[in-house]
Each structure stands twice: as structure tokens, then as C-alpha cells.
Amino acid sequence: MLRQCLAIMRREVFYLWRDRGLRHILLFGSLLGLMLFYAVYSAQVLKDIPTAVFDLDNSAASRELVDKIGKAEYLKLVASTASYDDLRELIKQGKAVVGVVIPENYGRNLALGRQARVLAVIDGSNMIYATNASAALLTVTRTLSAQAGVSALVARGVQLQQAKDAYQAIDISEEAWFNPALNYAYFLVLALALNIWQQCCTLAACLNVIGERGMKSWLQIRACGISKFRFFASKSIAQIFIFMAVVLPLYILGFGALKLPLNCSWAALLLFTLAFAIAVHSIGTLASSFARNAVDAARFGMIIALPSFVLSGYTWPLEAMPVYLQKVAWILPQTWFFQGINYFAFKNAGWNLMAHYILAMLAIAAVCYGAAAVFIARS
């Protein structure tokens, strides 16, 4: 019996390797994705956001504000416009993402201790730029506001240090944990590469059952008296082994060469990934068991695999989605995996949480394999 299972597994590995297109997809798809995404996000944080200024005041105070904007860490002053329409056109053409309009009497209001309003125009068509630009501008204005407040108190006879203490009565100290530099590469690169990997694995698993029915060898296998359960169980073990073998170079390159953060142990990571590989394979096997042909099976698998990353809550919080979508998302193993990979790689969340996620993925796998077994038994 064991020898028979091993022979089926060797046969499955041979067939997967012989399929040149599928072999290249499994071997190189996720690796190329990892390198591509790392190159895209190699800057790690967004800097040099194009900024234009329209200064209606042209006072010493307004020029100081322009100078501060030009020296801001994440902003890059690209133009000083002569009109509001010119500023609008720059942003419309994509030459500037941020526009700062300094009104008349800006310097006079500051000198009199009055509130001085400045208009910040941000191109909201690119949310990544918009959120980073807003934070960068807020840092500049807070600094200048604090300086103006302190100067006003000093002008009233308050000692400099007392003025600083009075104006900064509450000192907020920000500290980012687990990703201190707020590095986009750390947050996105591995997840995007793993998304390609899971799609490739789903595509391969979709051939698990229907790929045999379309071959003449299927009649020979049935004539040998090999049970369907033993045959497809052996094939599944071989495919899951290949899925894990394919993800290993991805992890080694990501965590080793590219220095992506890994705070949990390798054993924990691989165990967690194995549970996900089993769950993904079960979905592909289920699609393969009731599909009429290999093309239909691949379509069913991709319908689930392609949108699952968006639904997983990795790039947009699950809590912000409609309730019905949240319920659908938690049915998918991709949600458990992509939510969990963040906890484990960044935070080393521990075995208690890991067990919950692993059991959820294995439960999904059991349901899918069970349904697939029913379809296979009827065929």
C-alpha cells in the first residue's frame, strides 16, 4: 500500500514537472513577483512629494514658510506660481501633488498674534500621495505654529523657556512598533509575492481531479484496482509538497537576501504556511472535482483566488467592509493566512493565536476535501 502511494506521488511530481508552462509558473511566478515588488517599493518610504506654492503675501513670514516647505523631509518644492489657476493646472497635469496657498496678511496676522490661515490643496486622486503629503504638511505647520506661539509669549515678557513649556504643555511622542520606519517594502512586498504564489498553487490544484479524467491512463489506473481515495490522496500529498518546495526559495530570498522582517521562528512560519497550502489545495481540488473540463476548473479556482487578497483585509481593513463581505471573507483561507502572516512575521504573536488561525484553515480544508470526495465518489 505504501509503495503504491509513493509510486503515485512520484508519478504526480513527474507530470507536474513535465508540464513546462505550469512548472515555470510555479517556480518563477512568485519569485519574479517578489523581485518586482521589492524594486517597486525599494524607496521604502515616500519622499520628495512634488509641491507648489502660491504666495499672495510675499512677506518675511511667508518666505520663511516657503523655505520650511522646501526643506521638509518628505516634500519637494517644484514651483512657485503666480496665480491660483496656475497652481490648479500644475496639480491637474500631475506636475505637483500638493499646493500651498499663503493668503494676504499672513505675516501681519502672525505679528499681531492672530490666527493665520494657510490653504493646503492635495491631489486626492492618489491616496498614497495624499495621506503622506497631508502628514508632511502637518509637521511643517505644527513647527511654525509652535514657534509663533512661543514668540508671542516672549513678546509679552515671558521667559523663553517658560514660553516653550507653556506652549508645549502636552508633548506627544510618537513611536511606531514592529515597523519603526513605516517601510512600505516591509509591509507589502512579501504579501504581494505570496498572493502570486497562492494563485499559482490554486491553478495547479485545479488540475488534481479533472486532469486525470481527461487522460487515457485514468482507465488503466482504475483497472489496477487502486481506490479513488488512495489515488487522489497520494496526488494531493505530492502537490502540497511541491507547493511548500516552491515557497521555500521565496522565503529564503525575502527574509535572507532582501532582509524582510521575520520575528517568529522558521518552524512556526513553515507550519503556518503548510496549513494554508493544504487549504488552498483543497479549494483547487473541489473546483477540479465538479468541473466539466480543466479550463472550467481553472476558472472556478481563479474566481476565488484572484479577489481573495483584496477581501483578506490586508490592504483595506475588514472592519471597514460591509458586514456581508466580512462574513464571506472569513470563509476564505486567504483571509486567515494574510491576516496571520502579518501577526507572525512582524509581531511573533505566539502559538495561541497561531493555533486559532491554523485550525481555521484546516477546518476550511476539511470541508472542501469532504465536498470534493462526494463529487469524486459519484464520478
Q: Among the listed ranges 102-116, 181-195, 208-222, which one has the minimum average pLDDT value?
A: 208-222
* Set of cell numbers at residue 364: 476550511
Rounded Cα–Cα distance for residues 173 and 290 (Å): 58
Q: Where are the beta strands (DSSP E) in 2-144?
A: 49-55, 75-80, 98-102, 119-122
The whole-angstrom separation of Cα 43 and Cα 34 is 15
Parallel, antiparallel, or unpaired: how do β-strands 75-80 and 49-55 relate?
parallel
CATH entry, 49-167, from 3.40.1710.10, 2.120.10.80, 3.30.2290.10, 2.40.30.10: 3.40.1710.10
pLDDT band at 5 (very low <50, low <70, confident <90, very high): low
Sequence-distant (6+) residues with CB within 8 A of 8 are: 226, 230, 231, 234, 235, 238
Q: Closest Cα partner for 30 from 235, 184, 245? A: 245
Residues facing 101 on adjacent strands: 54, 119
**Cα(358)–Cα(350) distance, integer angstroms:** 12
Neighbours of 247 (CB within 10 A): 23
130-144, 158-172, 257-271: range with lowest mean pLDDT:
158-172
Residues forming beta bridges with residue 119, ordered by sequence position: 101
Calpha distance 197→109 (Å, rounded): 59
Residue indicated by cell numbers 484553515: 361
Q: Among 39-53, 195-209, 331-345, name the most confident range.
A: 331-345
For the chain, the first-to-last Cα distance in angstroms comes to 23
Q: Is 52 exposed, middle or buried (0-12, 13-18, 19+ CB in 10 A)?
A: buried
Phi, psi of 100 (to 5 degrees): -115, 120
Tell me the CA distances in angstroms from 19 to 25, 199, 213, 311, one per residue in order: 10, 17, 17, 31
What are the φ/ψ torsions at residue 55 (nearest 5 degrees)? -100, 105
Q: What are the domain boundaries of the chain?
A: 2-41+186-378, 49-167
> Phi-psi bin for 139: left (phi > 0), alpha (psi -120 to 50), beta?
alpha
Residue 281 · residue 362 · CB < 8 Å: no
Q: Phi and psi of 373, rounded to 5°? A: -65, -35
**Rounded to two decimals, what is the model's pTM?**
0.76
Which pLDDT value is given to residue 70?
Answer: 83
Average pLDDT over residues 152-169: 60
Cell of 351: 502559538
Amino acid at 365: A
Q: In Å, what is the CA distance from 281 to each residue of 237, 272, 367?
A: 10, 14, 12
CB atoms within 10 A of CB 250: 20
Residue written as grid cell 520606519: 181
Nearest to 75 by CA among 27, 18, 141: 141
Q: What is the average pLDDT across 339-347?
A: 85
What pLDDT was estimated at residue 302?
81
Query: What does pLDDT average to over the chain?
Result: 79
pLDDT tens, residue by residue, 205-223:
888 777 666 555 555 555 5
d(CA 238, CA 219): 21
What pLDDT was estimated at residue 144?
Answer: 65
Compute the distance between CA of residue 13 and CA of residue 48 in angstroms, rounded to an integer.
50
In degrees rounded to 5, what are phi and psi of residue 54?
-120, 105
Average pLDDT of the residues in 319-323: 86
Please report, for residues 12, 161, 296, 376, the alpha-carbon distance to residue 379 in angstroms, rounded to integers and kept in the order given: 21, 84, 17, 5
Residue 243 pLDDT greater than 70, yes or no? yes
